[in-house]
């Protein structure tokens, strides 16, 4: 393991919800929940104000509504989140060529590889500068952990939340880990944690005291060895800039079970086309087509078929998925469908023939990924207004949808740079109302509104850092 805390872990604070709060002045400081709003939807992210009521990620949306009935419930705007994530990742790559993204809002950075840090003080300054840069570019906050290993850097960023920095000086790792719960360690979920608890092991220090042989007896060879090493703060994993993609897949959960076999087939074809678009966007192809079906009773079936060679032809993937569907009984109803491709490659068998013939396989027309088609949904002529999405009114300007139903849509007219806006209600087919692109969260960004004050004040200087009083970790908070 390293002798300096030069591995950085960044985790943006309540990312989706923070983006929504930054773009909507009326939601700042309020409980915000982002996710699927249907009866089977789940929480993707919630603001810290919502967490006070017990709401958390992956919770069923119905339960979240019961816990926080007055929160704002919004449909995700993934394109906006991706664009902001790209801004953050560019800042990370300015620090080092070795950046390992884990998701849209989380990544490891090897500061040593980019000569951005070589000891504790330079690492702390790099982390503080990164947080200030993220605030200036996106208007959002992120928490930073710095340590000599990936495991410890991630634990440090969790300790830093929200909007802080924690540095774990080398040599203090064991002292910091010992009192922490076993669930702190990666790979220790509820089941493993409960198994250890029944054996009298509740803290990381007690894992180390139990010894490697006892852990192997309790958890098996692979898990026991790995857990013992982590309890001793041993983690030699490098930061990997490019992680190999093993599969590409898409799936949809339906608010109402689908019973019509023809409708199921149409959905599978639509999912296959979406999957191929993702394949092509990544410059990949695959040999194995996978179909996932979750039935009315929550039983989940998977079927797969391996082709003679890799493909990114939508017709081939659709036909293979349809053949797989023929082997699945959907009589009782289907609540979830998914199509995936694995056995990935960066070429296709068709490439050779296309190069010779000067032909390129046809790509299906792009469709917005707005989720599954409702079995008894609105007519094609009726426009849909997802809660939280951007709109523009010909006379009133930019706003966002607070809600819709019964032939009406309610809009709050405000921007990231304005004061809290007023609310107006319109017929859903009002010709002066139209969907709009999101605005940048801070002024000066591409496409921003010139002359508008920033919605979030930037710090006058870098955050100050100081050592934690008597503890093993150094902390920094604005």
Catalytic residue list: 106
Residue 133's nearest CA partner among 239, 10, 306 is: 10
Report d(CA 415, CA 139) in Å as an integer.
14
Asked whether the beta carbons of 313 and 361 are under 8 A apart, the reply is yes
CA nearest neighbour of 3 among 204, 171, 218, 229: 171
Cα separation of the two ends of the chain:
30
**Rounded distance between C-alpha atoms, residue 205 and residue 182, angstroms:** 9
Helix axes 261-281, 314-326, angle to 10 degrees: 140
- Measured in whole angstroms, how far is the alpha carbon of residue 4 from the centre of its chain? 30
DSSP conformational letter for 42: B
Q: Which residue has the tokens 């990935």?
A: 344
Contact 422, 406 (CB under 8 A): no
Tokens encoding 125: 């300054």
Pair 303, 327: CB distance under 8 Å: yes
CA distance 465 to 478: 9
Q: How many CA atoms lie within 13 A of 213 on its CB side?
A: 0
Q: By the 8 A CB rule, do 399 and 411 touch?
A: yes
Residue 121, C-beta contacts closer than 8 angstroms, at least 6 positions apart: none
Q: How far apart are CA 250 and CA 234, in angstroms?
A: 36
Sign of CA dihedral 89, 95, 96, 102: negative
Give the number of other CB atoms < 10 A from CB of residue 82. 10
Question: DSSP string covering 102-146, please?
Answer: EETTEEEEETTTTTS-SSHHHHHHHHHHHHHHHHHHHS--EEEEE
Q: What are phi and psi of 316, to 5 degrees?
A: -65, -45
φ/ψ bin of 169: left (φ > 0), alpha (ψ from -120 to 50), beta (otherwise): beta
């Amino acid at each position: 393991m390293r002798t300096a805390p030069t591995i950085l872990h960044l985790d943006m604070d309540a990312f989706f919800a923070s983006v929504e709060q930054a773009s909507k002045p009326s939601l700042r400081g309020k409980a915000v929940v982002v996710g699927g709003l249907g009866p089977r939807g789940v929480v993707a992210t919630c603001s810290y104000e919502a967490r006070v009521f017990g709401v958390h990620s992956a919770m069923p949306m119905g339960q979240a509504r019961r816990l926080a009935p007055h929160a704002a419930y919004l449909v995700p705007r993934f394109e906006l989140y991706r664009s902001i994530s790209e801004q953050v990742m560019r800042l990370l790559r300015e620090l080092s060529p070795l950046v390992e993204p884990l998701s849209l809002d989380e990544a490891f950075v090897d500061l040593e590889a980019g000569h951005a840090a070589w000891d504790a003080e330079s690492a702390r300054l790099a982390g503080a500068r990164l947080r200030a840069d993220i605030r200036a570019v996106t208007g959002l906050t992120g928490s930073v952990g710095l340590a000599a290993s990936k495991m410890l850097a991630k634990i440090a960023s969790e300790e830093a939340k929200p909007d802080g920095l924690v540095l774990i000086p080398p040599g203090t790792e064991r002292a910091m880990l010992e009192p922490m719960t076993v669930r702190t360690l990666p790979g220790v979920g509820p089941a493993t944690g409960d198994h250890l608890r029944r054996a009298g092991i509740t803290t990381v220090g007690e894992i180390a005291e139990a010894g490697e042989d006892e852990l192997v007896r309790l958890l098996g060879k692979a898990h026991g060895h790995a857990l013992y090493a982590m309890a001793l703060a041993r983690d030699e994993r490098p930061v990997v800039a490019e992680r190999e993609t093993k599969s590409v897949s898409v799936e949809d959960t339906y608010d109402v079970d689908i019973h019509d076999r023809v409708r199921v087939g149409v959905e599978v074809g639509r999912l296959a086309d979406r999957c191929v678009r993702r394949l092509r966007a990544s410059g990949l192809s695959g040999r194995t087509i996978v179909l996932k079906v979750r039935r009315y009773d929550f039983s989940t079936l998977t079927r797969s078929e391996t082709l003679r060679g890799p493909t990114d032809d939508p017709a081939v993937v659709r036909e293979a998925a349809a053949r797989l569907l023929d082997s699945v009984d959907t009589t009782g109803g289907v609540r979830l469908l998914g199509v995936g491709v694995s056995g990935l490659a960066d070429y296709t068998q068709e490439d050779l023939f296309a190069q010779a013939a000067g032909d390129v396989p046809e790509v299906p027309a792009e469709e917005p990924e707005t989720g599954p088609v409702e079995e008894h949904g609105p007519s094609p002529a009726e426009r849909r207004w997802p809660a939280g999405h951007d709109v523009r009114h010909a006379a009133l300007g930019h706003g966002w949808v607070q809600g819709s139903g019964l032939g009406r849509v309610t809009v709050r007219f405000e921007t990231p740079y304005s004061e809290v806006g007023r609310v107006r209600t319109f017929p859903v087919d009002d010709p002066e109302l139209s969907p709009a692109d999101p605005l940048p969260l801070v002024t000066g960004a591409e496409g921003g509104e010139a002359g508008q004050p920033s919605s979030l004040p930037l710090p006058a200087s870098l955050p100050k850092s100081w050592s934690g009083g008597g503890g093993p970790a150094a902390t920094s908070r604005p």
